Amino acid sequence: MSTRIVLLGATGYTGSRTAEALVARGARPVLAGRDPARLGALADRLGGLPTAPADVTDPASVRALLGAGDVLVTTVGPFLRLGDPAVEAAVAAGAVYLDSTGEPPFIRRVFEDAGPRAVTTGAALVPAFGLDYVPGTLAGALALVEAGDRAHRVDIGYALDGTSGQAFSRGTLVSLAGVLLEPGFAFAGGRLREEAAGRRVWRFEAAGRPRRGLSVGGAEHLTLPGLAPGLREVGVHLDWFGALTPVAHRLAPLAPLIGRLPLARQGAQRLAAVVGARVGEAPSQRTLAQARTRTVAEVRDRAGAVLSRVELAGPEPYGLTAELLAEGATHAAQHGLRDVGALGPVQALGLDALTAAATAAGLHRT
């Protein structure tokens, strides 16, 4: 594998799991991060990998990691606050970029701001290449192919089973707190529109059980419309919050109003810091041992009749994210990507290659 893969944030929880998944595929990534001692220990454990110092608070150190054609994988979050230096470094170098973000405002910023500039430098930016939001993109793309040209609306539902104790990593919880008051969005009426997260609830079935998913501004709103010219509506929904789902739904209309108050967003960032100080770095061991993901896509025609349905099952979220990032990075290093600019997973790899990568990462159709 001659193309360099650089892993930024290698010593964090998701980063170290991604490093392991890359090595398991025969890659020798450059491990990059702030702490030389922790980088060295991880590099030694994984067979003497190269390391490089880099800190996103020093953008020049991140730019120094990359050359043209390199593949950068970053797990450094929260992305809305810390993600821009890696994106800018990839754009400047003309590199391939993949990340683990699930933060809708950041994903939208990559597509609308960095994407056009990436086209001019030959960079390829593929954000949210993990549980957020590869399974929904893949399920949606497969369902759209099966539905044909009558597709009018696609709904995506994410479900998580088998959690016990701490369900999410510290990084995920900090990211969720940090975007509470940020503007949301949805693809509706054939265009991207502002819409608060949690404004809608979608009832769907996964693994034979009824689910309630809260609406969010997932990457699918930005990536699926390009796959089906007649598509007019996209819904993305998370069934992750259990008994809190109806409460969050009722409070959703207040978020945009609160977000306009002076210092409200700074308050959300302080809340994120408090959350980060009080939870463990990783989910509980029982969650890691038992949790499973389910993702459903349903396509409807203009009258609301279901045209196609795809359900995917996968392993626990963090292992799945690490495996998907490793699959995406090694594919980019070996074969390149299909286009430049800001890309969805299907636009970047092609549907057949994405399906193969997802299968290798542990996703399968049920």
- Using CB atoms within 10 Å of the CB of residue 205, give its burial: 0 to 12 exposed, 13 to 18 middle, 19+ buried: middle
Side-chain-side CA neighbours of residue 52 (13 Å): 20
| CA pair distance 9, 16, nearest whole angstrom | 8
Start-to-end CA span in the chain (Å)? 34
pLDDT at 176 (0 to 100): 72
Give the model's confidence band at 257: pLDDT under 50 very low, under 70 low, under 90 confident, else very high.
low
Q: Render pLDDT for 217-238 as a digit per residue (tens, 0 to 9).
A: 999 999 999 999 999 999 999 9
Task: Give kind and range of the element (H or E) at residue 191.
Answer: strand 191-194
Average pLDDT over residues 31-55: 97
DSSP state of 224: S
Domains of the chain in sequence order: 5-131+319-365 (3.40.50.720), 134-316 (3.30.360)
pLDDT at 183 (0 to 100): 83
The count of residues in the chain is 366
DSSP state of 110: I
| CA pair distance 142, 150, nearest whole angstrom | 14
Task: Give kind and range of the element (H or E) at residue 50.
Answer: none
Q: What pairing do the DSSP bridges indicate for beta strands 306-314 and 364-365?
A: antiparallel
Residue 320 has pLDDT above 80, yes or no: yes
Rounded to 10 deg, the angle between the 317-335 and 351-361 helix axes is 140
Contact 3, 334 (CB under 8 A): yes
Angle formed at CA 319 by CA 25 and CA 236, multiple of 5 degrees: 120
Tokens of 165: 């104790």
Report the phi/psi class of residue 112: left, alpha or beta, with left for phi > 0 and alpha for psi in -120 to 50. Answer: alpha
pLDDT at 145 (0 to 100): 98
Report percent pLDDT > 70 for the chain.
95
Q: Render pLDDT for 71-126 as a digit per residue (tens, 0 to 9).
A: 999 999 999 999 999 999 999 999 999 999 999 999 999 999 999 999 999 999 99
